[in-house]
Each structure stands twice: as C-alpha cells, then as structure tokens.
Amino acid sequence: MADPALKIRIDKWLWQARFFKTRSLSAKAVQGGHCRVNSNPVAKPAYMVAPGDVLTFPQGRDVRVIRVIALGDRRGPAPEAQALYEDLSPPVPRERQPEAPRYDGGGRPTKKDRRQYDKSRSSALE
C-alpha cells in the first residue's frame, strides 16, 4: 500500500489543479458520481488519489481525462496548477458557429428611401 503522505483527497486535488473554482463544487461533482479514478466510479470526496492515477470527469460539455503527476501543497497560480497533471483528453473538434448576418451599414434610411418603402408596402396591401 502506498504511503498516506503521498495521497490527497480527490476533491482537494481537483480544486488545487484549478478544474473547479471552489472545493465545494469539486466535492459536488465527485458526490454526484461523475468522477472516475482508474476507470472505477468514485462517489466520496474523501477518496484518496496518488500520482499516476487517471481521473475522468465532465467539465462543461467536455469529458476530461487527466493523469495525476504531482500533489500540490496549495492552490497556486495557473502555471503551477498545470504542472500537477497531464491532459490525456483527445482534442475535441469545435463545430463552426454559423456566421451572424452582416449589417450592410446603410444607416438610417433617407426620406427618399422611406417614401419608396412606404409605397412598396401600400401597393402590397391593395
């Protein structure tokens, strides 16, 4: 069995690695049964993880697959947090967003344009 000093709670590690904004949010994700450690479902935030474990959990619309490389001492800046894990998630292709219709930039219609518009509307009603 591994030395207990080389393990940390899963909710605390997810928070330190900056996957969740608060520790309570990471605990809720684990309690909801959304996390897996080495392909085994985990439902307790107190589950201990060690370096080498592979975590799978949803984040937004994506499913993250992470290998724990190190255990953190604190929740530090992002570069420090990124050194705690290796991302094994396959790159997700993003769907192209449909382009918004472009405004022709004509501005406010002139009086001549308004007359023409009113004339076309009145002829459609007759």
Q: How confident is the model at residue 102 (pLDDT cuts 50, 70, 90)?
A: low
CA 83, 13, 36, 20 dihedral sign is negative
- As a whole number of angstroms, the distance between CA 40 and CA 82 comes to 24
Mean pLDDT of 27-44: 93
Helix H, strand E, coil C: the string for the chain is: CCCHHHCEEHHHHHHHCCCCCCHHHHHHHHHCCCEEECCEEECCCCCEECCCCEEEEEECCEEEEEEECCCCCCCCCHHHHHCCEEECCCCCCCCCCCCCCCCCCCCCCCHHHHHHHHHHHHHHHC
What is the percent of the chain where pLDDT is above 90?
A: 58
pLDDT at 1 over 60: no
Taking residues 86-93, report their average pLDDT. Answer: 85
Grade residue 109 by pLDDT with cuts at 50, 70 and 90. confident
Domains in the chain, please, with CATH?
4-87 (3.10.290.10)
Residue 37 has pLDDT above 70, yes or no: yes
Average pLDDT over residues 24-52: 93
Whole-model pTM: value is 0.70
Q: What does the pLDDT average to over 80-107?
A: 79
